[in-house]
Amino acid sequence: MRVVVLVSGRGSNLQALIETVHGHEAEIVGVASDRAGAPALERAAAAGIPTAVFLRDDYEDRTGRDLAMADWVLARGADLVVLAGYMALLAPAFVTRFPDRIVNVHPSLLPAFTGIDAIQQAIDHGVKVVGVTVHLVDEGIDTGAILLQRAIPMPNTRDGAEVHAALQPLEHELLPEAVRLLAAGRVRRDPADPQRVVVST
């Protein structure tokens, strides 16, 4: 499976993909960012993966930027788009070009706490369990069908950095696992309930 990864920041999830599935179950054929100078781009370059930057200001609007990015993804021959800390909302025109072919990792147990600051939202709500979700991307904000989730009890925490540090190892396991499942063709929509995804064993 040929994969393009979209990033905005640090790129620890990209690094996890490079160290696990890349060159095995999947080939990362490109990394694109909406921010110049994202450290994730250096990680890609160090692994010999082609990179590109698509700045919002270089295009008339967000859709224009995202369509240019979609063209780049298709030109790389990608079958799958992985959002690994990509912090911009994708235009519907991008999402509809890759139906059920975009996955995202989100630091909450969806459908709770969508959007930005998910960890702080969870802390503010007083949750006793935190977790990570990998889901397919649709046109909503963190609303697509859930592929994988994992939780850990943290009943007393009020420290976002502590929660983030606890969640990152889960992200670094679940996102490569989702790519493996998709590459193996083990993910399909439930015909009786298309919002639901069935992962076969």
Q: Is the dihedral of CA 82, 85, 91, 92 positive or negative?
A: positive
Of the ranges 3-11, 41-49, 67-75, 146-154, which one interacts with ligand GRF (CB under 6 A)?
A: 3-11
Contact between 11 and ligand GRF by CB under 6 A: the answer reads yes
Q: Nearest to ligand GRF by Cβ — which residue?
A: 85
Helices (H), the chain: 12-20, 39-46, 62-75, 92-95, 118-125, 160-183
Q: In the 8-state DSSP scheme, what is residue 145?
A: P
Of 138 and 171, nearer to ligand GRF (C-beta) is 171
Phi then psi for residue 198, to 5 deg, are -105, 130
Contact between 106 and ligand GRF by CB under 6 A: the answer reads yes
CB of 145 closer than 8 Å to CB of 137: no
Of 10 and 62, nearer to ligand GRF (C-beta) is 10
Contact between 143 and ligand GRF by CB under 6 A: the answer reads no
- 24 is known as an active-site residue: no
Contact between 34 and ligand GRF by CB under 6 A: the answer reads no
Does a cis peptide bond (omega within 30 degrees of 0) precede residue 111? yes
Contact between 108 and ligand GRF by CB under 6 A: the answer reads no
For binding to ligand GRF (CB under 6 A), which residues are involved? Answer: 9-13, 40, 84-85, 105-107, 171
